[in-house]
Amino acid sequence: MDNTTLTIIWTVIGIILFPIILKNKAPYGRHTTKKWGKTISNKAGWIIMELPALLICPLFYFTNTTNLPSLNTFFVGLWIIHYINRTIIFPFRIKTKGKKMPLAIALSAIFFNTINGVINGYFLSVTDYSLSNSPLIIAGFFIFFIGLVLNIHSDNKLISLRENTQVNNYTIPKGGLFNKISCPNYFGELTEWFGFAIMTFNIGSLSFFVWTFINLVPRALSHHNWYKINFENYPKNRKAIIPYIL
Q: How confident is the model at residue 37 (pLDDT cuts 50, 70, 90)?
A: low
Vertex 162: Cα angle to 156 and 163 (nearest 5): 105
Q: Report how far apart, in Å, the C-alpha atoms of 25 and of each of 141, 215, 243 are.
A: 32, 10, 22
Domain spans of the chain, in order of start:
26-129, 132-246
The listed range with the strongest mean pLDDT (100-104, 127-131, 154-158) is 154-158
Q: In this structure, what are the phi and psi dihedrals at residue 132, rounded to the nearest 5 degrees?
A: -65, -20
DSSP secondary structure of 107-141: HHHHHHHHHHHHHHHHHHHH----GGGHHHHHHHH
74, 63, 60: which is closest to 129 by C-alpha?
Answer: 74
Helix-then-strand count for the chain, H and E? 8, 2
Q: How confident is the model at residue 35 (pLDDT cuts 50, 70, 90)?
A: low
What digits encode the pLDDT tens for the residues 144-193?
999 999 999 999 888 887 655 554 567 888 888 999 999 999 999 999 99
- Please give the single-letter amino acid code of residue 147: G
User: Mean pLDDT, to the nearest integer, of 26-47?
Assistant: 70
Q: Report how far apart, in Å, the C-alpha atoms of 13 and of each of 57, 60, 127, 209, 214 are.
A: 21, 23, 24, 14, 11
Summary mean pLDDT of the chain: 88
Burial of 171 (0-12, 13-18, 19+ CB in 10 A): middle
- Please give the single-letter amino acid code of residue 191: T
Residue 173: the pLDDT is 87
Residue 137: the pLDDT is 92
Helices 3-23 and 203-230, packing angle to 10 deg:
10
The listed range with the strongest mean pLDDT (36-50, 56-70, 185-199) is 185-199
17, 94, 71: which is closest to 200 by C-alpha?
Answer: 71
Give the predicted TM-score (pTM) of the model: 0.90
Residue 64: the pLDDT is 87
Residues 6+ apart with CB under 8 A from 135: none
Q: How far apart are CA 27 and CA 92, in angstroms?
A: 21
Q: Write out the E strands in 23-77.
A: 39-41
% pLDDT > 90, the chain: 58
Q: How far apart are CA 221 and CA 194, in angstroms?
A: 19
